[in-house]
Amino acid sequence: MVLCHDPYDETILELARKLCRELSVTRHKSQKLIWSRTVASDECSFTPPAFRSRGVRLQLALRGKLTPEEFAPIIASSLVFSYKTRWGEGTRLFLPSLLPAVIVLFVTSMFGRAWDLKTVFPIAFLGCVLIALIAAMSFNRHVKRLKLNADKRSAQLVGRDALLSVLTRIESLKLKDVERWKRSRAQSIIHSKPTVEERIRNLSV
């Protein structure tokens, strides 16, 4: 993690503040810029509101490789997802998927005495684990859709071409995390984070 306070960083912070104003984001105040190796190269993250100093976190490998203005579309999309996204639909999708687990537990409690518990419990446990995995995958797919939707919403503010341009630029840099994510097809299917390729395709439609 690196903290810097030069004109390059100050310009990015000012752009972040401007985007907060334009998006009417009041829960985040961009007070400092943090360069981190743990942030995805095509995203930015924000210090939780509970912290006194509100920080914007960007990938260290991109420092100096993008202009301050090129960071604006990335910050805008992350702001939309983090502060302007409604999560109610995701909750409604997730809760019904827990119903089979409740049924399994109910049946086990009702007939556990009549059946051999040594047989029933492993089956019930494996059933609950399987249901939990399916529910988590379903929820992750929904989060991915929300992130892709955040791209489209932020493109209305910063311009679709600007967001496409910086995503294409990031992909061309062949950064480790971007390439690793691209190669791991299975991970990209079950995870909530879209790949840079998926983000580009989403904006190109």
Residue 87: pLDDT over 90: no
Edge-first strand listing for the sheet containing 55-59: 2-3, 32-36, 55-59, 45-46
| Global confidence as pTM | 0.79
Q: What is the pLDDT of residue 27?
A: 83
Give the tens place of pLDDT for each residue, 52-72. 557 899 999 999 999 999 999
Give the tens place of pLDDT for each residue, 102-118. 666 666 666 555 555 56
Q: How confident is the model at residue 165 (pLDDT cuts 50, 70, 90)?
A: very high
